[in-house]
């Protein structure tokens, strides 16, 4: 598909999904950038709902980043145990907290390369922090975004870095932050990994997968 057509499609997808999910935001509850960082680390292979059950107790026990940095690691582990992979997550949380205190004067950095230097932080979390904590244009490529973007036809890649590059080329920059949240909402509500509900999808007319599926059904 020509790049201009892809850009028109991408803009139309965002416009329609904004109407469908007007309240789409980051579902990880947080008040400060460092809390979002911690919640994002906890969310690996864990639902946001479970993370939101854990973080109130965690942040009540360690209300500042400096207190998290100085915590006993086993105490962090005990509080976050139910989120899975709790030992490695506790190590990443405390390691990031200490690095932020030592290298960044106790403030979560707002540059991609600095965020990527933190333990437990990859491009997905770094872009989430940039967008939701600092309002900087960034695209979060999680499993929903990767799956839906490929189905829609905005990318043909499976690698998150390549998907991000493709989306940067076709999405208006002012939609980058929203796009990730819209993909999560739509992936949970309609475009399931196993059984996408194309019959009730508000963007079916814009979607390559839905179009191919419709043509296949017509041939039967």
CB 180 within 8 A of CB 139: yes
State the span(s) of the chain assigned CATH 1.10.1670.10.
Answer: 3-24+140-219
pLDDT tens column, 13-51: 999 999 999 999 999 999 999 999 999 999 999 999 999
What pLDDT sits at residue 23?
95
3-24+140-219: CATH topology is Endonuclease Iii, domain 2 (1.10.1670)
Per-residue CA distances from 183 to 31, 34, 166, 173 (Å): 23, 24, 15, 16
What pLDDT sits at residue 1?
73
Closest CA to 10 of 213, 169, 130, 127: 169
The residues annotated with a catalytic role in the active site are 124, 142
For the chain (220 residues), the mean pLDDT of every run of 10, in chain order, is: 92 98 96 97 94 97 97 97 95 98 97 97 97 97 97 97 98 97 97 94 96 66
pLDDT tens column, 136-153: 999 999 999 999 999 999
State the span(s) of the chain assigned CATH 1.10.340.30.
Answer: 33-134
How large a percentage of the chain has pLDDT more than 70?
Answer: 97
The mean of the pLDDT values for the chain is 95
Pick the CATH number of 33-134 from 1.10.260.40, 2.40.50.140, 1.10.340.30, 3.40.50.980: 1.10.340.30
Mapped onto helix, strand or coil, the DSSP state of residue 25 is coil
């Amino acid at each position: 598909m020509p790049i201009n057509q892809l850009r028109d499609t991408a803009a139309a997808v965002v416009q329609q999904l904004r109407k469908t999910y007007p309240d789409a935001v980051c579902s990880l509850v947080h008040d400060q950038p460092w809390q979002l960082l911690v919640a994002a680390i906890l969310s690996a292979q864990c639902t946001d709902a479970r993370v939101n059950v854990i973080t109130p107790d965690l942040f009540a026990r360690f209300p500042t980043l400096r207190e998290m940095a100085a915590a006993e690691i086993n105490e962090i582990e005990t509080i976050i145990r139910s989120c899975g992979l709790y030992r490695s997550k506790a190590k990443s949380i405390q390691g990031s907290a200490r690095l932020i205190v030592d290298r960044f004067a106790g403030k979560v950095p707002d540059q991609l390369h600095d965020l990527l230097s933190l333990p437990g932080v990859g491009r997905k979390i770094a872009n989430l922090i940039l967008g939701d904590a600092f309002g900087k244009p960034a695209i979060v490529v999680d499993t929903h975004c990767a799956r839906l973007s490929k189905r829609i036809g905005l990318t043909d890649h499976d690698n998150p870095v390549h998907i991000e590059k493709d989306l940067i080329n076709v999405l208006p920059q002012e939609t980058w932050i929203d796009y990730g949240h819209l993909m999560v909402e739509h992936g949970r509500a309609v475009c399931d990994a196993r059984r996408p509900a194309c019959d009730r999808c508000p963007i079916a007319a814009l979607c390559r997968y839905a179009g191919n599926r419709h043509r296949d059904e017509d041939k039967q």
